[in-house]
Structure formats: structure tokens, C-alpha cells
Amino acid sequence: MARLPRLVVPHQAHHIIQRGNNRQAIFHDDDDYRAFLKWLREAARQFKVAVHAYVLMPNHLHLLASPADATGLGRMMQWVGRYYVPYFNHKYQRTGTLWQGRYRATVIDSERYFLTCSRYIELNPVRADLVSDPATYPWSSCAHHTGVNSDPYITDHPLFWRLGNTPFEREAAYKGLMEQALTSEEMQSLQDATYKGWALGSEQFMKALERQVQRRVQPGKRGRPRKTAGLSETDSKQGS
């Protein structure tokens, strides 16, 4: 069966994962992280993509972002790769692809999963035993959301603003959320949806999204359909 085109929905939050080829490192030193972030910021501005959360891990990266149109997300990722991959290959005297295939992405139901996804992203360095406090990891948006510093790469999502009437209230509320462990079910749902390209949300969200985009956004139910119903359809040290 042919693979469905990647689902990108304007003004909806998307969880994006990009991994190094064969799980190899894509960042070796601080200059690599800074270079990638510089090009990411330029591309996000150029292609009108709001980046709400991110983490750059040694061999992969996560983004939580909302594109203004159906093409901006793909163009942003392509543009960053066009600059970063030659930079990396030249610096480390290597050739060939850096990425493990194309980036993975899923549309998420913001009301239900936005803050969960943001926490999942920013807790990656803790799960990988790189830091004990996620706000101290220098290559993520956690320090921004918890008030340690202001991050120019971040566009705050309305759901983050809903956490409080003042910056202090929002940051305190977000710190409280970060102290709550994610369940294995939450992490598995995010991983499965992102790698398989299906949307993630409530049943109501899924049905509304299917009407909007005129295609399936979730896998069909397993098993043989009834005749009357018709056809139906970790790197332990690198994070996840």
C-alpha cells in the first residue's frame, strides 16, 4: 500500500522528530548546536512556522511547531538541512546523508496533548541521564518556559499563556507540570503517532480533522469489517 502524503495542517501544532542516520551524532560541540539553532530560527521566520518547544539531543532533535500554511513545515526542515548538513560534513570531513530518512511528524490535538508533548520534548535530556534538572540543559526550550531565561527561538503558544496571568504565574505553573512524570502510555502515544504519521487527539478532534483535510488521519480498525458495515478501513543515553 502506498504511503499517504505527510499530513500538515495550518495553524495546528505538530510534533517533529529528526534523527541522525544509523543513530549517529548530529551535534558534537556547542558550535554545532548554535549553528543549527541559528538556521532554524531563520527558516522558521522565513517560512512562517511558530516554534513552541524544542530539544537538540546528541543524535536527534524534537520540535513542537505550528506552520502558517501547508508547505511551511516541510520547507523549513528542508532549508535547515540545506545549510546544516554541508556545514557538518565539511567540519567533520565526512560525506553523504546526515539524517535517518525524512523527518517524522504528527498533528496533535493541542487542547489535549500540547503541554504533554512540550514536557515530553523538554524532559528528553533527563531521560537520557544528561542532566537531572531539565531547565539546566542548554539546548532546549525548558529554561524559557520555566523563567530561567528568555529564548528568542520560541513563540509562546496560547495554551502556555493560559497557565497564568503573569509571567511568574505561567512559569511556576509550568514548573509544576514538569515535576509530574509522564506516563508510559503518554510517551508511547506520542512516539507511535509521530513515527507513523497519524494525528493524535480525541475522537472528536480526529473526526473534525478528517472532515477538514478530506483523508484518513488515524489507522483503520483491525479485523474483518462486518458485511453490513461496508469497507473500513532508546538509546538509553540519547533520549527518545
Residues 6+ apart with CB under 8 A from 85: 97, 98, 99
DSSP state at residue 135: G
Residue 40, C-alpha cell as written in the block: 532554524
Q: In the chain, what are the domain boundaries?
A: 14-212
Phi, psi of 89 (to 5 degrees): -65, -40
CATH T-level assignment (fold) for domain 14-212:
Alpha-Beta Plaits (3.30.70)
* Side chain identity, residue 119: R
Residues 6+ apart with CB under 8 A from 92: 28
Apex 85 CA angle, 79 and 89, nearest 5: 160
For every one of its 240 residues, what pLDDT tens digit does the chain have, with 9 covering 90 and above? 445 677 889 999 999 999 999 989 999 999 999 999 999 999 999 999 999 999 999 999 999 999 999 999 999 999 999 999 999 999 999 999 999 999 999 999 999 999 999 999 999 999 999 999 999 999 999 999 999 999 999 999 999 999 999 999 999 999 999 999 899 999 999 998 888 888 888 888 888 888 888 788 877 665 554 443 433 334 445 667
